[in-house]
């Protein structure tokens, strides 16, 4: 998991940056990425705060549980203040009070080891190159941002091919289905219809 500051002048350039600040679009993108199939959950906020981080955790975990996914979920983060920072007491409290009740575990990427967050960071780069840079100038308010972002998420999950480890040029939803069928076939209760 990671947060992205959309107001990145170096990446977007001055013209796009001026447009999005003038339109007062939400500044932060919250991302949860499932590492094996690259399915992502995304939310937006105006502030980077631990309360928003916890709301995002509850949102994602509630969705997963509503769909019957009961396995423990590992949330790896990068020491950001929005995830508890480096205070061990705060992290223990967050893990016990918010993560464990949902069947989640709060984990940390080793400090200074960017590769541990590589997949989610790469997804942010793709968002910049294929969503924000080409489309932000045509987005004039929060409602439009959410509509365009929804379309982008659908495209990137259903049709956009991925060539990362284990993806074999398949879109995330197709890879998820393959893994689910593989899991079901290996289950002793699986009985295919004739």
Q: Taking the chain (194 residues) in consecutive chunks of 10 residues, what is each chunk's mean pLDDT?
A: 94 96 97 89 95 92 86 84 83 89 84 75 94 97 97 94 91 89 64 52
Q: How many CB atoms lie within 10 A of CB 5?
A: 12
- The reported pLDDT for the residue numbered 192 is 55
Please state, in angstroms and rounded to a whole number, the distance separating the CA atoms of residues 134 and 50.
Answer: 31
CB-based contact 157:39 (threshold 8 Å):
yes
In terms of pTM, does the model score above 0.85?
A: yes
CB-based contact 20:7 (threshold 8 Å):
yes
């Amino acid at each position: 998991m990671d947060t992205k500051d959309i107001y990145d002048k170096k990446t977007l350039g001055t013209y796009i940056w001026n447009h999005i600040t003038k339109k007062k679009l939400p500044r932060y993108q919250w991302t949860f990425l499932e590492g094996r199939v690259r399915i992502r959950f995304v939310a937006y906020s105006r502030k980077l705060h631990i309360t928003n981080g916890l709301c995002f955790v509850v949102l994602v975990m509630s969705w997963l549980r509503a769909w019957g996914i009961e396995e423990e979920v590992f949330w790896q983060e990068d020491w950001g203040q929005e995830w508890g920072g480096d205070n061990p007491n705060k992290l223990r409290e967050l893990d016990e009070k918010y993560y464990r009740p949902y069947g989640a575990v709060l984990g940390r990427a080793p400090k200074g080891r960017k590769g541990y967050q590589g997949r989610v960071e790469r997804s942010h780069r793709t968002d910049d190159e294929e969503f924000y840079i080409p489309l932000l100038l045509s987005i004039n308010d929060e409602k439009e941002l959410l509509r365009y972002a929804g379309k982008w998420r659908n495209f990137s999950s259903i049709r956009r091919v991925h060539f990362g480890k284990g993806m074999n040029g398949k879109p995330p939803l197709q890879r998820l289905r393959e893994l689910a069928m593989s899991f079901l076939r290996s289950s002793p209760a699986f009985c295919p219809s004739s």
